[in-house]
Amino acid sequence: MAILGAFAVPHPPLIVPEIGRGEERKIQPTIDAYREAMRRAAALQPETVVVTSPHATMYADYFHVSPGDGAEGDFGGFRAPDVKFSVAYDTAFVKALSAECQKAGVPGGTIAPREPRLDHGTMVPLYFLQQFASDFKLVRIGLSGLSPLTHYRFGQCIAQAANLLGRRVVYIASGDLSHKLLAEGPYGFAKEGPVFDAECMAALGDGDFLRLLSIDSTLSEGAAECGLRSFWIMAGALDRREVRAERLSYEGPFGVGYGVAAFTVGGRNNGRNFDEQFTAAQQKKMAAHKAAEDPYVRWARRSLESFVHAGARQPLPQDAPAELLQQKAGAFVSLKKDGQLRGCIGTFLPVTENLAQEIWRNAVSAAAEDPRFSPVRAEELDDLVYSVDVLTAPEPAASEADLDAKRYGVIVAAPDGRRGLLLPDLAGVNDVTEQVAIARKKGGIGPNEPVQLYRFEVVRHH
């Protein structure tokens, strides 16, 4: 057998009557859709239920599969300790999945467990599923910070494990949508919130997994969602299968988006090869991006690629761009991969003879010396997106009133020489107070320590 059906569901604890205590009636359409989805899941008579949850153990570079024979949990953290769960894990499936990950080169398995108890992202679906079925074993999986394509390939490993074992498997992708739909909601409002929810629900409702994989990371991050990666894995688990998608409900009255979608799985359909389609689309997009890079960014890319391939810093080439040889300024070079930061190093004052050397030096440092990341590998080079920020000379700012988080970068300097810097117009940094607080933290400067503020402007090259 294989994956018989799949369901995308939210996990608000409020939806459980023992927790909501009447408030859950405000999302009755979600409750009704949830029950219908889990009724359909139970009708498939699954031997194994796979749940991916944003609140299970999560690592940046690894998919964690819960180990052991089983687990317990309750809603004690949500004032309902009497709502308890005890599940048996499908240990054979977990073993097979770990083996498939190893064969496919996907970082996933049971190493480094942290929290053995069931999380609410798993228990909320179980609450509704167990109203209709109980004779199944569970596989509980956390998400990761890896790329959309890697999540999809992990889903392919899940499907392969199901095929090898001949299990009747139902997949439940647990995840809420945007947490920033309403100004009066617990997380506030962001313009990306409703846009993301509309895009995600359209992709789920149409079964358009290429559209799902292609959602811009700036949009998903701004929306503060928690379910997209769960949906990516689900898409991979349904790779090359005929799928009939159905949107059952969507609402967000509390400022968080709750969507329910069901996927009836049919026979093989090689046209739904979304890993290959996504790869081709990304390659085309990257080729167009590289063709449009300005001389500053092309020089940063060339500098880094020469360093990685040569394995050491090389002398500055004689044919460096003339316009960069005639300038002297501080510069930051930022690297992104799959929409996520991969390295960023810079200088706020020039430390070399010209801007060409400044960019060359900082591009290499961003790839090899940023302590937050491992060094960039040769096989990553084609996937990197660069930006170069050229800084004006810093000038003193008398107070935060002289700053503007969109226009100016900021430097906070303590009397003992500690300094923190933050570039302007960064996603997620909405005001000066937040900008200064982050710069203080970067410089190891306490919130109440006296500092001198400096501001600067940048010309950003893409």
Neighbours of 310 (CB within 10 A): 9
Do 320 and 423 lie in a common domain? no
- Expressed as residue numbers, the domain containing 413 is 395-461
Asked if residue 444 is part of any domain, the answer here is: yes
Asked if residue 288 is part of any domain, the answer here is: no
Q: 113 pLDDT band (50/70/90 cuts)?
A: confident
Asked if residue 143 is part of any domain, the answer here is: yes
Model pLDDT for residues 118-163, shown as the tens digit of each residue: 999 999 999 999 999 999 999 999 999 999 999 999 999 999 999 9
What tokens does 277 get? Answer: 């389609």
Do 353 and 411 lie in a common domain? no
Model pLDDT for residues 246-290, shown as the tens digit of each residue: 999 999 999 999 999 999 999 999 999 999 999 999 999 999 999
Average per-residue pLDDT in the chain? 95
Last-in-domain residue among 220, 243, 278: 278
CATH number for position 254: 3.40.830.10
Do 384 and 309 lie in a common domain? yes
Do 407 and 432 lie in a common domain? yes
Neighbours of 252 (CB within 10 A): 23
Q: Which helix (H) or strand (E) holds 149?
A: helix 148-165
Model pLDDT for residues 3-46, shown as the tens digit of each residue: 999 999 999 999 999 999 999 999 999 999 999 999 999 999 99
Asked if residue 345 is part of any domain, the answer here is: yes
Do 36 and 140 lie in a common domain? yes
CB 406 within 8 A of CB 356: no
Q: HSE-up of 91 (CA within 13 Å, CB side)?
A: 6
Q: How many domains does the chain have?
A: 3
201-211 residues labelled b (16+ CB within 10 A) or e (exposed) = bebbbebbbbe
Last-in-domain residue among 346, 361, 391: 391
Asked if residue 235 is part of any domain, the answer here is: yes
Do 195 and 341 lie in a common domain? no
Do 87 and 206 lie in a common domain? yes
Query: What pairs with residue 73 in β-bridges?
Result: 85
User: Helix (H, G, I), strand (E, B), or coil: what is residue 107?
Assistant: coil
Do 351 and 436 lie in a common domain? no
pTM of the model: 0.88
